[in-house]
Amino acid sequence: MKMDDPHGKRMPGGVVTLAHGGGGSAMRKLIENVLLPAFNNPLLAALEDQATVPLAELLVHGDRLAFTTDSYVVTPMSFPGGDIGKLAVCGTVNDLAVSGARPLYLSCGLVIEEGLEMAHLAMIVESIAHAARLAGVSVVTGDTKVVERGAADKLFINTAGIGVIPAGIQISASRAQPGDAVIVSGSLGDHGIAILLARNELALDAAVMSDCQPLHGLVAVMLGACQDIHCLRDATRGGVATVLNEFATSSRVGIRLREAALPVNETVRGACEILGLDPLYLANEGKLVAVVPATHADAVLAAMRAHPAGLEAAIVGEITAESAGNVILSTAFGGYRVVDMLVGEQLPRIC
Amino acid sequence: MQYADEFRDPAKARTLVEEISKLAALLAKARGRPLQVMEVCGGHTHTIFRYGLKAMLPEALEFVHGPGCPVCVLPMGRVDDCVALACNPKIIFTTFGDAMRVPGSKGSLLQAKAEGADVRMVYSPLDALKLARENPTREVVFFALGFETTMPSTALTVLQARREGIRNFSLFCNHITIIPTIKAILDSPELTLDGFLGPGHVSMVIGNRPYDFIAERYHRPIVVAGFEPLDILQSLWMLLKQMKEGRCEVENQYKRIVPEAGNAQALAAVAEVFELREFFEWRGLGSIDHSGVRMRAAFADYDAERKFGVPGLSIADPKSCQCGEVLKGVIKPHQCKVFGTSCTPERPLGALMVSSEGACAAYYRFGRIAIKPVETETVAS
């Protein structure tokens, strides 16, 4: 079977078999026909056991390496606004970006369940390559394993990433100070609700796109407005609430949030109402939380709003000396409550 | 958001809070103690904490979080029965999400799932029936729980299954009924309650007349309340007004949803499928006569208890748990000996710590700051 990928290329047919992970000719063919043309760069094309990166090229960008890894498992593999491939690139790029680093190189490990259609694999690989091109990073090394049917859920991806942090940037979860402003880059929970809807379990008819996107460009303009950003983290699993609890604990400060200021897309809000979920805890894949000195908050916010990834950015609260270690939400209704770390995953309520 | 934001207007809330504060101060002074109002329903507990109502209201008014979270009042033995059913390899065991974490004596359904049981989360009994249609070689059991709120939907699902001739679907019926439970609380010798916020969702099905005995026999006022924050505040104001005027009546704040006589169609479906059990065990409250329902003999083929047999053991709650005293309003959640120490949402000893509607979980998650400042170290855990 052949199918077209969204970027207009003809896809190969057949399914992935154990032979494609066996190290022999089938695997060589998979690498040469699917992976190399998609990732298309000289470091990978050398087909050595490692990518060899000249240090001089790194030193141009700064004085410290940022190095991170993450694994991606998601059902379904494609969803409105993205797929597992785009997710694997954006997630790792964002983990680098929130240190202030310029993301440069990625590795890509594929764990494929036997029987996955070759065309589907090629489509995901093309999506990885496309997302990497947009983020300005190269996939320079990788690994492919094929496991027996039932041993994995179609495809798992691991990406590791290397970036370089410019001299003078010191971003850390432990640097929040009383008086600092808390900024989020856009609407909360779009990815979490998009995935729930894409699973078709909710019988809800609503259009929500995942916010899956790289954030290094946004971080660059934020640093342009204020080099002294104190804390920065992308709000993935566990959502904004989890990130803020991590800041409060690491910096030993309190955080006061204003519910009325939190940007939440109307459809996401509606779905949360029906399901008894809290958007503060829903996953995002293209949103960040920043803590910046109050004196620079307006400049950072203006810079963010001028960038496509930060159009809906908002100041949502401030760091306080009181209630150290706690995140307190002033509700839009006039009361307040503690926004705690989530225990396990959010489960819909019975009624 | 239409039909929701209208009930979350902070300016209206301020006016109501002022009125409530005046009335509460007067009444508490006359009684020489704070007023105690029980919200029977777990959904109300959730609203009170989620919108921070507790922090807005005067100390002269105390909430007592009642037994209205169906997940929280599940006894350990019934959870063990669920796990036993779920471990039967023939069975796909289906349940609402928040029932998956309730601890039984040998673990929760979530743990059973991790160990290989086929446990699936559904959003309605109709989802479970759909699974039965799609898996004709398996037996699909739906863990039916909840008060009169959820009873009609399970009854209608069973009737639908029978109409379609689906034979591989059954209910493990743990539905409970609210009236005998309120009566058991009112009969408690430790009773200090001054009034009730009535459960809005339950009342949508049963109407208001079943609460008459609360006003007539026990001389306590009750206001059937909706679930938006302004609903709760308005209901409190109505309740306090009754007290000030020396009235004890059943009033309906939730008129937009609750018909005086209930929903005849829903009640008919419930009556066709279910009958009262002589007694049913509640976590923390012990056995309460006629407080649970089972399936009628005519629906034996759809009754998992008859179809598969369950151990049906009664297992005592851990001795250190004071769930019963919390449910009856004798102590506050944070006054329990194990609250926040050996009983936390991560490792709940008592069921009130499990569901987000449970009083203890709500106190732990939303309200701890109001109780006492928490050390940084414990918050990080």
Contact B218, B187 (CB under 8 A): no
Answer whether residue B210 is part of any domain: yes
Overall number of domains in chain B: 1
What integer pLDDT is reported at residue A12 of this predicted model?
65
- Partner-chain contact B98 A347, CB within 8 Å: yes
Distance CA A12, CA B32 (A): 82
Answer whether residue B64 is part of any domain: yes
Distance from CA of A336 to the nearest CA of B (A): 4
Answer whether residue B275 is part of any domain: no
CATH number of the structural domain A181-338: 3.90.650.10
What integer pLDDT is reported at residue A164 of this predicted model?
98
Is the pLDDT at B371 greater than 90? The verdict is: no
Q: What's the token pair of residue B229? A: 């924050």
Distance CA B153, CA B54 (A): 33
Contact B295, B174 (CB under 8 A): no
Q: In chain B, how many H helices and how many E strands?
A: 17, 13
Phi and psi, residue B77, nearest 5°: -60, -40
Minimal CA–CA distance to A201: which of B150, B160, B127? B127
Contact B194, B244 (CB under 8 A): no
Q: Is ipTM over 0.90? A: no
Is the pLDDT at A285 greater than 80? The verdict is: yes
- Residue B74's CB: how many other CB atoms inside 10 A? 25
Average pLDDT, stretch A121-136? 97
Distance from CA of B217 to the nearest CA of A (A): 30
User: What is the average pLDDT value for chain B, to the nearest integer?
Assistant: 90
Residue with tokens 């007592």: B64
Average pLDDT, stretch B61-69? 89
Distance CA B117, CA B93 (A): 8
Distance, C-alpha A346 to centroid of its chain: 20
Distance from CA of A203 to the nearest CA of B (A): 9
- Nearest-5° Cα angle at B322, B317 to B327: 100
Band the pLDDT of B1: cuts 50, 70, 90. Answer: confident
Residue of B nearest to A247 (CA): B380
Where are the domain boundaries for CATH 3.30.1330.10 in chain A? 3-165
What integer pLDDT is reported at residue B374 of this predicted model?
35
What are the chain A neighbours of B127 within 8 Å (beta carbons)? 201, 203
- Which carries the bigger pLDDT value, residue A13 or residue A295? A295
Distance, C-alpha A192 to centroid of its chain: 12
CATH number, domain of B195, equals: 3.40.50.11750
What integer pLDDT is reported at residue B2 of this predicted model?
73
Where are the domain boundaries for CATH 3.90.650.10 in chain A? 181-338
* Beta-strand relationship, A102-113 and A138-147: parallel
Helix (H, G, I), strand (E, B) or coil at A309: helix
Hey, what CATH class is A3-165 in?
A: alpha beta
Distance CA B39, CA B327 (A): 11
Could you tell me the pTM of the whole model?
A: 0.88
- Domain of B221, in residue numbers: 4-68+179-252
Q: What's the token pair of residue B2? A: 């239409």
Band the pLDDT of B373: cuts 50, 70, 90. Answer: very low
Distance CA B173, CA B179 (A): 18
Average pLDDT, stretch B291-312? 95
Q: Give the model confidence (pLDDT) of B321-339 as tens digits.
A: 888 888 877 888 889 999 9
- Partner-chain contact B49 A270, CB within 8 Å: no
Interface of A with B (CB under 8 A): 201-203, 245, 248-249, 252, 266, 269-270, 273, 275-276, 323-326, 328-338, 340-341, 343-344, 347-351
Alpha-carbon distance values, A101 to A253, B239, B349 (Å): 26, 59, 45
Answer whether residue B304 is part of any domain: no
Q: Give the model confidence (pLDDT) of A192-243 as tens digits.
A: 999 988 887 666 777 899 999 999 999 999 999 999 999 999 999 999 999 9
Distance CA A244, CA A289 (A): 8
Helix (H, G, I), strand (E, B) or coil at B279: strand
Q: Give the model confidence (pLDDT) of B268-279 as tens digits.
A: 999 999 999 999
Minimal CA–CA distance to B342: which of B364, B314, B316? B364
- Residue A52's CB: how many other CB atoms inside 10 A? 9
10 Å CB burial of residue B179 (0-12, 13-18, 19+) is middle
